[in-house]
Structure 1
Amino acid sequence: MKNGVTIGQAAAFVGVTVKTVRHYHQHGLVDEPQRDSSGYRRYGSDELLRLVQVRTLAAAGVPLAEIGPLLDADAEQFTAALADVERRLTERIADLIARRDTLHRLAEGDRALLPDRACAILDRMPGLGFGPDYVAAQREALVLARALVPEGFDGFLTQLEHRLADPEYIDLAKRGWEAETWEPDDPRIEELATAMADRYLANPTLLGNSTSLRAWTNASTQYRLINNHRGDQAPISARLTALTETKLRAAGVPIPHQ
């Protein structure tokens, strides 16, 4: 052992830190050499070879807990174990790529939380005269709808697409948002609710198809949460929606109760 090297030299030769070498010792991956007459542990070629093997496997992604059995395995077991490690690394790579893609979508705003079709709907709204607060409220409603009622989400998007293609609905929706500046007892609120209900009844596609309506009816609690979102910030709009829905239920439309 006189010709061996110190732990610092061994670590430098192998390309790791002294702390890492000690870490390998703690995990039983590399035996600690005996101390020489000077009291120093001297690492010979056997220990250096083992350090290189452990370092290489660890760098390849093999968990430390699996390195010992792997080095002690026969050729067939070694090959099978490496294949298993490769499979797990491939899964991790796919997961990391998916996370990276999510970060890229986050940088693009809505696209991290909503599909392209929903983003296209939101992108159309400013050009139709809807203000940023209205668009923001619709964005949040879409995010909640996708998360809470996924089976009704596509139908909800179709419903919004029909609404944005209906000039009369667009005018009523803008008035509804402007109603936030009205007094709570303004008679125009009741009149606007009647006009909105009449428009829905005149063009049922604005309410969604039977599958979409059924999905929302079966998720009344989620519907209530989504419908009441921002209700404290836009109380007139919330009241207008409630009045409109009451009129629609009276006409036989299966609107979930809030």
Structure 2
Amino acid sequence: MADGLTIGQAAAFVGVTVKTVRHYHRLGLVAEPERDSSGYRRYRSTDLLRLVQVRTLAGAGVPLAEIGELLDTGPERFAAALDDVRRRLTERIEDLVARRDTLLRLAQGDRALLPDRACAVLDRLADLGFTDDYLATQREALVLTRALVPEVFDSFLSVLEHWIDDPEFVELTKRGWEARFRDPDDPRIEELASAMAERLLANRALLAMPNGFLNRSDTASRYGLVNHHREEQVPAVARLNALIEAKLRAAGVDFPCR
């Protein structure tokens, strides 16, 4: 490389086209080398370094109009600018990874709408023998919670994760689901409500609402849409839920007022 590289060789070395190198020249980002005795412009190491710098910054998303000033600035400002470019690249990478993961979820049903933690809860419910129609209802409840009351979504998952590890509560929940076929005035619904409320109160801390949630003006309507969805289609379940809620309120547990 005693005499330097031709423009074609320089472009190939840097990883761009000859047209791109000439575009950099026109913008003043890279000075054109002097011609040698044969009339060819020869690119030496300093020219190649400048080309690599321009190509790298442009590839990182820095506008061409800003690159010249950036390269000609002092070392401290240049280092700070590079840090900013790295930050923006990291954000782009994270966004692309998120988009890639979303694409993968599109082919996996629940995972297009719910995070892995929620899907794990649904998988656990299936393993515990809950019916498909119960799983569908629970899935819808999770999606509604995430969409309408996202501030309680994590705590809702924590409650579910706790209770599905409690065999007694799992059995009560299955009995509650089976009760949907009963008459709303069936005395067994009252008995079941008492048993479920008692079991829930055994771990009162799990019933606490997030700080500030109860004070919001739209809390009751959003909470009601989630906690009482589809009840009008199943009167027995509506009565069971109302009885449980009344018993918890009587025990001092706060719920959004409907």
Q: Give the TM-score category using the shorter length.
A: 0.5 to 0.7
User: In structure 2, what is the equivalent of residue 223 of structure 1?
Assistant: 223
Q: What are the equivalent positions in structure 2 for 1:90-169 lying under 5 Å apart? A: 90=87, 92-93=89-90, 96=93, 100=97, 103=100, 110=111, 113-114=114-115, 116=117, 118=118, 120-146=120-146, 148-161=148-161, 163-165=163-165, 167=167, 169=169
1:202 aligned onto 2:198? yes
**Aligned equivalents of 1:220 and 1:55: distance in 2?**
59
- Deviation string 1:81-108 (CA, Å, 9 cap, x unpaired) is 1343145315523662575378569568
SS of 1:202's equivalent in the other structure is: helix
**Aligned equivalents of 2:49 and 2:162: distance in 1?**
66
**Aligned equivalents of 1:46 and 1:213: distance in 2?**
65
- Quote the sequence identity (%): 38
1:236 to 233, 236, 248: 233
1:247 aligned onto 2:243? yes
Where does the alignment leave 5 or more consecutive residues of structure 1 unmatched? 34-41
Relative to 1, partners in 2 of residues 1:47 and 1:213: Cα closer, same or farther, differing over 3 Å?
closer
Contact 1:172–1:196, Cα closer than 8 Å, also in 2 = yes
Contact 1:144–1:226, Cα closer than 8 Å, also in 2 = yes
Counterpart of 1:67, as a letter, is: I
Question: What is the TM-score normalised by the length of structure 2?
Answer: 0.62
Counterpart of 2:190, as a letter, is: T
**Aligned equivalents of 2:121 and 2:178: distance in 1?**
21
Relative to 1, partners in 2 of residues 1:112 and 1:58: Cα closer, same or farther, differing over 3 Å?
farther
Counterpart of 2:115, as a letter, is: L
User: In structure 2, what is the equivalent of residue 36 of structure 1?
Assistant: none
1:20 aligned onto 2:16? no
Counterpart of 1:92, as a letter, is: L
Relative to 1, partners in 2 of residues 1:228 and 1:99: Cα closer, same or farther, differing over 3 Å?
farther
Question: What is the TM-score normalised by the length of structure 1?
Answer: 0.62
Where does the alignment leave 5 or more consecutive residues of structure 2 unmatched? 34-38
**Aligned equivalents of 1:13 and 1:153: distance in 2?**
53
Contact 1:193–1:244, Cα closer than 8 Å, also in 2 = yes
**Aligned equivalents of 1:89 and 1:213: distance in 2?**
37
Q: How many residues align?
A: 236
Relative to 1, partners in 2 of residues 1:8 and 1:102: Cα closer, same or farther, differing over 3 Å?
closer
User: In structure 2, what is the equivalent of residue 37 of structure 1?
Assistant: none
| RMSD of Structure 2 on Structure 1 (CA) | 4.7
Relative to 1, partners in 2 of residues 1:134 and 1:70: Cα closer, same or farther, differing over 3 Å?
same
- Deviation string 1:104-136 (CA, Å, 9 cap, x unpaired) is 6956875994364x5554333123210244234
Relative to 1, partners in 2 of residues 1:157 and 1:52: Cα closer, same or farther, differing over 3 Å?
closer
**Aligned equivalents of 1:14 and 1:161: distance in 2?**
55
Give the CA deviation at 1:203: 2.5
